[in-house]
């Protein structure tokens, strides 16, 4: 699928609090490495190409970038690449980051942050991005446990002006309710995709829509196994892709956006051609029948802790 007027705006817009973003955004995780952020494969991508991809994304209308200080490889840091490529930042660019997990200077994973450590993680993101505050900070959880202490610590930083808006990542419905009793929640990032949905995914999707919260799936394209080619693509996805002269990845993105006006996409890539294909998917419109066929591929899974 190609487009003569390629623009992220074709996917429509949504508001993260008082910040308006195009629903087709960009995930920065793959800028730094060939493997996933939570894997041991941290082979670095080419720096100049990563910078070029970021600049091209903004040229194409992407104004929502998802990142984290723990997105780094031995030679690359996603935040620093963003700073180098896009600073001084466009006025309409919204950068969303996340805190909770931690990594040491050599890349080794540390224990998940305690409430008193979140200030340092927020300040690290601010320093790396070269900003005086963060637009949106997602608290990434690990398991279905109370969020009040951690989210309360972030709410204090929001009151201080270090954070503009708060979100959640890898959470259950009750954790969303618990957090909203402390401070407003503008987005929720959970694993969600064709055939890659947690048992509570539809409830979280519905809850976010009812509350006006953006739902932001991660791994909407890759999923378990397809990233390495270990799992073949569903024949139904291939059929729909052929009907639209599109790639399976584009169909997966189009399906994601079809799940509701509050759903945002943040596909990541270090490849300029893949970037343009992802943005083009924002203009692809699936029929109700196609959407139903693809949705039927869903299977409930356990909580994703990647």
**Half-sphere exposure of residue 267: CA atoms within 13 angstroms, side-chain side:** 34
Q: Give the pair of three-digit tokens for residue 166.
A: 């708060």
- Phi, then psi, of 99 in degrees rounded to 5: -135, 165
Return contacts of 150-158, CB within 8 angstroms, 24+ apart: 150/100, 150/113, 150/115, 150/118, 151/178, 151/179, 151/182, 151/183, 152/115, 152/182, 153/115, 153/116, 153/118, 153/119, 154/99, 154/118, 154/122, 154/183, 155/182, 155/183, 157/118, 157/119, 157/122, 158/183
Strand partners, 187: 167, 214
Do 135 and 94 contact (CB within 8 A), yes or no? yes
* Dist CA 245 CA 251 (whole Å): 10
- The catalytically annotated residue of 71, 72, 215, 218 is 71
Separation between Cα atoms, residue 12 and residue 181, nearest integer Å: 30
Is 71 designated active site? yes
Output the six-digit token pair for 26.
């960009």
Catalytic residues: 71
């Amino acid at each position: 699928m190609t487009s003569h007027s390629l623009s992220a705006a074709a996917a429509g817009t949504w508001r993260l609090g008082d910040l308006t973003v195009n629903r087709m955004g960009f995930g920065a995780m793959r800028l730094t490495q060939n493997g996933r952020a939570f894997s041991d494969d941290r082979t670095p991508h080419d720096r100049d190409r990563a910078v070029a991809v970021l600049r091209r994304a903004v040229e194409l209308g992407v104004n929502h970038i998802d990142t984290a200080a723990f997105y780094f490889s031995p030679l690359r840091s996603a935040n620093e690449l963003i700073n180098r490529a896009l600073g001084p930042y466009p006025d309409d660019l919204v950068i969303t980051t996340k805190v909770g997990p931690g990594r040491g200077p050599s890349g080794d994973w540390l224990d998940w942050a305690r409430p008193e450590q979140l200030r340092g993680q927020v300040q690290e993101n601010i320093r790396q991005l070269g900003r005086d505050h963060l637009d949106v900070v997602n608290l990434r959880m690990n398991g279905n446990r109370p969020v009040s202490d951690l989210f309360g610590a972030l709410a204090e930083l929001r009151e201080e002006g270090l954070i503009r808006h708060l979100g959640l990542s890898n959470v259950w419905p009750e954790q969303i309710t618990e957090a909203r009793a402390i401070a407003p929640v503008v987005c929720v990032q959970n694993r969600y995709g064709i055939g890659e949905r947690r048992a509570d995914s539809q409830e979280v999707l519905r809850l976010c829509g009812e509350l006006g919260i953006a739902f932001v799936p991660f791994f909407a394209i890759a999923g378990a196994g397809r990233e390495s080619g270990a799992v073949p693509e569903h024949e139904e996805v291939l059929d729909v892709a052929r009907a639209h002269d599109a790639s399976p990845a584009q169909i997966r993105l189009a399906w994601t956006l079809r799940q509701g006006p509050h759903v945002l996409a943040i596909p990541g890539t270090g490849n300029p051609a893949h970037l343009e294909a992802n943005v083009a998917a924002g203009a692809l419109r699936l029929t109700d029948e196609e959407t139903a066929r693809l949705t039927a591929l869903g299977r409930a899974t356990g909580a994703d802790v990647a």
